[in-house]
Structures are given as structure tokens and as C-alpha cells.
Amino acid sequence: MSDPILLVRDLSMTYPDSNGGLHALRDVSFEVFPREFVAVLGSSGSGKSTLLRILAGLLQPTSGSVSFGGQGPVGSGAASPRIGMVFQQSNLMPWRTVIENVKLPLELDGVDDETARARAQELIELVGLQGFENNWPRELSGGMAQRVAIARALIHDPDLLLLDEPFGALDALTREHMWIELSRIWQMRQKTVILVTHSIHESLFLADRVLVLTPRPGRIKLDFKVDLPRPRADEIRYTAHFGSLAKKLKEAIG
């Protein structure tokens, strides 16, 4: 087995409040290996978004450490990996077309327009939105907007993709379709992914491993290996084995 790409050690987070502090996470430790798809499963308020924001460097933990092992991106000389992030809301710029939204991060980096457009076009095709390059965000369905957000998060070719309930705002059928799409994209790009979700079925369908968080303060209650074959088709969700795995996770969540 290769070295972990991510090492999380004894992470705790206490938000200040008037009552001695709100403990969102306590002593969270785990590691993630290159190309792994890890789901963090927990009920609402268990500290999932807090954890992802700490991993993304958007939030400073109260204690504990996050370190990135392995090699940094080739040629960058940087120790920290590139991170792409997708939230529950697509956060697209309403005054920019699909392709302009996807290429925005490259634009901000000063990449020339021709290169940026070509990269964006490739990712738009990867997420299945060819033909919608010049549409406005308001013309997209929720599922399409999340595809744009995924394409945008991939534009830097990140080492680590962090997804915070990316399908939480979608209707059930669209969400299940997006699972298949994300699974396909992950298979093609072989990214390391951490997906936060409160859906047992979503975590099982997508992940290699599921980390189950306790209710607040979030701690890792279970590190669960998902022994389902890949590629996974929709039918797998209706097998007895899938059902028995779901039952175990349900018991762990409580």
C-alpha cells in the first residue's frame, strides 16, 4: 500500500459561544490513501462541514493536525496539494455562462484564455454538459448546476476533491443519477475524494470506505470498508449484500 495522501490527527474543533464553547469535533483521526473514495457519514450537526472546511484550510482547528503526505503535485515544489471543493449549493456566478464559470479559477491564475477554454471544454464534456457551454446558470436544473460545480472543482486537476453534501439539494431521482455520474467521473479521473453526506445509500454506493461520525461532538465511531465490486451499477443497491451493509451503517449512526 502506498503512503497516505492525507493524515488527520486528533482534530478537535470548539466554536466559541457564551456557554463554554460548542464542541463540533473531538479527537478525529484518520488517513486517506491516494485514489481512495472516502465518505464521511453523519447526522446533521455532527461536524461534517466543519471537518471539510478544516481539511480545505478554510478553518483553523482548535487542536490537532492535518498533514499531506506523499508527493506534492509534480513540478510545483509545493508541499500542500491542490484541493477542489464542491458545496451543497453550486455557487455559480449568475452573470457568467457555464464555460465562463468553469474556467474562472484558471482565469484568476492568469492562464491564457485559449488554454483555459480548452481545459474547461474538456471538463464540461466529462460531466456530460456538452452543448450547454454558453447557457446561463439560471437556465440549468439543480443537477446540471452541480455538474458545473464539479467541473469547476476539477479544473486545477486537484489532488484531493472535497464534496460537502453536493447532491443534498437535489430531488431523489436526480441525486441517484448524479451518484452514477460521480462514480463514472471518479473512475475516469482516479482522484482522491472525500465526500460528506448524511445518506447511508449515497456513502455505500460511492465510497471505498465510510467513516461514521457520532452526533456532536463528532468523533469517528466506525471506519467501514465497503466491499462492493466496481464499477457499481444502479442494480447493486437492490442486492441483499448492499442491504446488509446499509443496516450495519444504520446501527452505527444510531
21: contact with ligand ADP by CB under 6 A: no
Rg (CA), the chain: 18
Residues in CB range of 244: below 8 A, 6 or more apart:
none
Give the footprint of Mg ion on residues 35-74 (CB under 5 A).
48-49
26: contact with ligand ADP by CB under 6 A: no
User: Sign of torsion, CA 83 84 88 92?
Assistant: positive
Q: Which of 20, 6, 90, 17 is nearest to 51 (CA)?
A: 6
Please identify the residue of the shown chain whose CB is closest to the bound Mg ion.
49
194: contact with ligand ADP by CB under 6 A: no
* Rounded-to-integer distance, Cα 185 and Cα 198, Å: 21
Residue 134, contacted partner among Mg ion, ligand ADP, none, CB below 5-8 A by kind: none
Q: How many Cα atoms within 13 Å fall on the side-chain side of residue 167?
A: 22
50: contact with ligand ADP by CB under 6 A: yes
> Count of CB atoms within 10 A of residue 230's CB?
12
Residue 44, contacted partner among Mg ion, ligand ADP, none, CB below 5-8 A by kind: ligand ADP
Choose which of 47, 137, 143, 158 interacts with ligand ADP (CB under 6 A): 47
Residue 15, contacted partner among Mg ion, ligand ADP, none, CB below 5-8 A by kind: ligand ADP
Binding residues for Mg ion (CB under 5 A) = 48-49
